[in-house]
Amino acid sequence: MDGKEFTVSEVIDSFGINGHTWLMFVLLGLANIFDGYDFMVINVTNSYVAATFWPDAFQLNAETGKYALQPQYSALMGSLTTWGLLGMVLGGATGGILSDRIGRKKMLTIAVLFYGVFTLPQSFANDVYFFAAFRLIAGFGVGSCIPVVTTCFSETIPSQHRGVFVTFGMAFMVAGWVLAGLIGNPIASNPQSIMGDFTNGEVITAASLRPDGTMVTFCENWRLCYLIGALPIIYGIILFFVMKETPHWFANSGQKEKACKALEAIAHQHHDDSAHYDPNLLVVPPKPANIGPNVLFSKKYIVATAAIWTTYFVGQFCVYGMNAWIPTWFQGVGYSAADSTNLQTWNNFAAILSNISVGFVSDRIGRKKNLAGSWIACIVAIILCSMLVQPNNMILCVVLMLLFGFCLNYAITAVQPLMPESYPTALRNTGVAWCQAFARFGGSGSSIVLGAIAANALFKTAEGATNWSMVVLVLIVPFLLGEICTLMFVRETGGKTMDQLAAEATTEDKADTGTTLFAVMMVVAAILFILCIVCPLAVDGWAKSAMALPLMSIGMLLPFIYFFIFATPQIKNSR
């Protein structure tokens, strides 16, 4: 660069949008599509899977004349989603650290292959223990994939367009959710066996009673959906040969020559065959004195950690909890299983639209304003859904699901650009991955918590049915918490290079490793896990206990209390 010193960010910004940008866009997008399918397929098929493992879960209600999920199985059915999410927690926590050490390309390839290989055995499961074990293991790969994709986008895209591409990446994941509905719903709801003896087992679900009063049994075609989920095995091999490592990672890992070669390769795709970058002139921001997840809780980073951990926790709780229960909600209102799953698919289709638009708005008005406004929109949307959802009005319900899906997924995706922008390269994927891993405690607990709420007498009608209009209003509480945490902890990061963001961070105290506060947070996470996941699954009659809701509420609120106590004193120093 004419004998001048340069940074990786400066060179990438000088390229603008180019062929390499679009190649990474496609490669990372496809990884997220497969990832999204793997997660959502359980929500599409869970009533059929549950009917296989618990044949008496759905029984005929003499008063309504319809099959309904028995209350004692509500938390268990919610746990079918939980196992994959717990695997995602472990995968995100481990994969983020490995990605910062072995590289983005290697970690992403391993993650994609991993969840493809371990989704395959789920199609052969004959009991819940086998199924749960492989959901947990496959979730490890799914959880490792998402933060690597986010980090790769942030390290590949020019600063002025970073928000758009990072959020577009999440749109790909939601596209995987929609594909899971479009593929899984017609397969699972087919009463005829699609693959002979492999899928000819019979199951009885809430959809078994037809409008004319006759009953139909479904075959175990849900197994085919998990065979399809093994396709990432092929894509992982493609990634290994096609994807390139990011120049940012090369530079930060001390491989300046490889970083420059990577930049030259991008320049050649930009039709600049004469580009040459001298490794001796490459300026690399200094690494943090300490590296590891504990550093996220040091005085230098705890406010940024509070911002993304709390807001993403809220988003995961609401998105994953509602996706797990939307079909059951609408079946309870009176819609068929197929129509209920279609409404869930419309909800996720709206998520694609929101993920496409959120990046443009975020780059234009800023990260903080965008996120703060989105929580208000979520509150309005959930109130409208509670008031207006009704039977025999499919068009109205589609509109409401489009509104709610757009607002909720807009909010959670608005957090995405903040993640990679909050930490330096050496700590970036660790920070992104641990944020997503922790937030999935919210997601994994939410399906169980909402199931327990739905089974609680406080949320029952006079006839004993679940009053879903009351259940969904519970989401106002996390939405309000998201708004408060956004206003308190989020700092503006839009439009700045990664190097500028690193330079704006507060001075590092090498003696402050954040170890003590990290240990306290792990205790908080353990309490949350016990109260909101272990107890509902292990304690008989937990959902009906008078102490269940107060204890689960405490478990969910503890992380927010933690950050209000420990991050608030550092807010002034972070500005």
For residue 242, what pLDDT is reported?
A: 93
Asked if the model's pLDDT at residue 78 lies above 70, the reply is no
Asked if the model's pLDDT at residue 435 lies above 70, the reply is yes
Residue 447 lies in a domain: yes
Range in 186-195, 395-404, 543-552 the model is least confident about: 543-552
pLDDT band per the 50, 70, 90 thresholds, residue 168: confident
pTM tops 0.75: no
**Distance between CA atoms of 431 and 511, rounded to whole angstroms?**
20
3-state secondary structure of 460: strand
For residue 574, what pLDDT is reported?
A: 59
- The residues facing 61 across adjacent strands are 66
Asked if the model's pLDDT at residue 375 lies above 90, the reply is yes
pLDDT band per the 50, 70, 90 thresholds, residue 363: confident
**Distance between CA atoms of 452 and 77, rounded to whole angstroms?**
11
- Which amino acid does the sequence have at 56? D
Q: Give per-residue burial for 278-314: e unless 16+ CB within 10 Å, then b.
A: eeeebebbeebebbbbbbbbbbbbbbbbbbbbbbbbb
Asked if the model's pLDDT at residue 343 lies above 60, the reply is yes
Asked if the model's pLDDT at residue 405 lies above 60, the reply is yes
Note the pLDDT tens digit of each residue in 290-334.
677 899 999 888 999 999 999 999 998 888 778 777 877 887 777
Which among 12, 32, 266 has a CA at the least distance from the CA of 149? 32
Residue 529 lies in a domain: yes
Calculate mean pLDDT across residues 157-169.
Answer: 79
Residue 440 lies in a domain: yes
For residue 57, what pLDDT is reported?
A: 77
pLDDT band per the 50, 70, 90 thresholds, residue 115: very high
Are residues 371 and 429 in contact, defined by beta-carbon separation less than 8 angstroms? no
Note the pLDDT tens digit of each residue in 79-91.
787 788 788 888 8
Residue 434 lies in a domain: yes
**Distance between CA atoms of 10 and 499, rounded to whole angstroms?**
9
Average confidence score pLDDT of the chain: 84
Asked if the model's pLDDT at residue 507 lies above 90, the reply is no
Residue 507 lies in a domain: yes
Answer with the residue of higher pLDDT: 551 or 544.
Answer: 551
Are residues 255 and 138 in contact, defined by beta-carbon separation less than 8 angstroms? no
Calculate mean pLDDT across residues 414-436.
Answer: 83
Q: Between the CA atoms of 507, 509, 514 and 515, what dihedral angle is there, to the nearest 10 degrees? A: 160
Number of domains in the chain: 1
Asked if the model's pLDDT at residue 508 lies above 90, the reply is no
Please name the residue ranges forming H helices in 103-221: 104-119, 128-156, 162-188
Residue 277 lies in a domain: no
Query: Which residue in this structure is represented by tokens 């795709």?
Result: 269
Residue 86 lies in a domain: yes
Query: Which tokens hold the place of 58?
Result: 């759905």
Answer with the residue of higher pLDDT: 46 or 245.
Answer: 245
For residue 500, what pLDDT is reported?
A: 67
Calculate mean pLDDT across residues 257-269.
Answer: 87
Asked if the model's pLDDT at residue 210 lies above 70, the reply is no
Q: Give per-residue burial for 337-370: e unless 16+ CB within 10 Å, then b.
A: bebbbbbbbbbbbbbbbbbbbbbebbbeebbbbb
Residue 267 lies in a domain: no
* CATH number where 184 lies: 1.20.1250.20
**Distance between CA atoms of 307 and 293, rounded to whole angstroms?**
16
**Distance between CA atoms of 274 and 489, rounded to whole angstroms?**
46
Please name the residue ranges forming H helices in 415-546: 418-421, 425-455, 468-473, 476-489, 498-504, 515-529, 535-538
Domain extent, residue 495, equals: 17-253+287-574
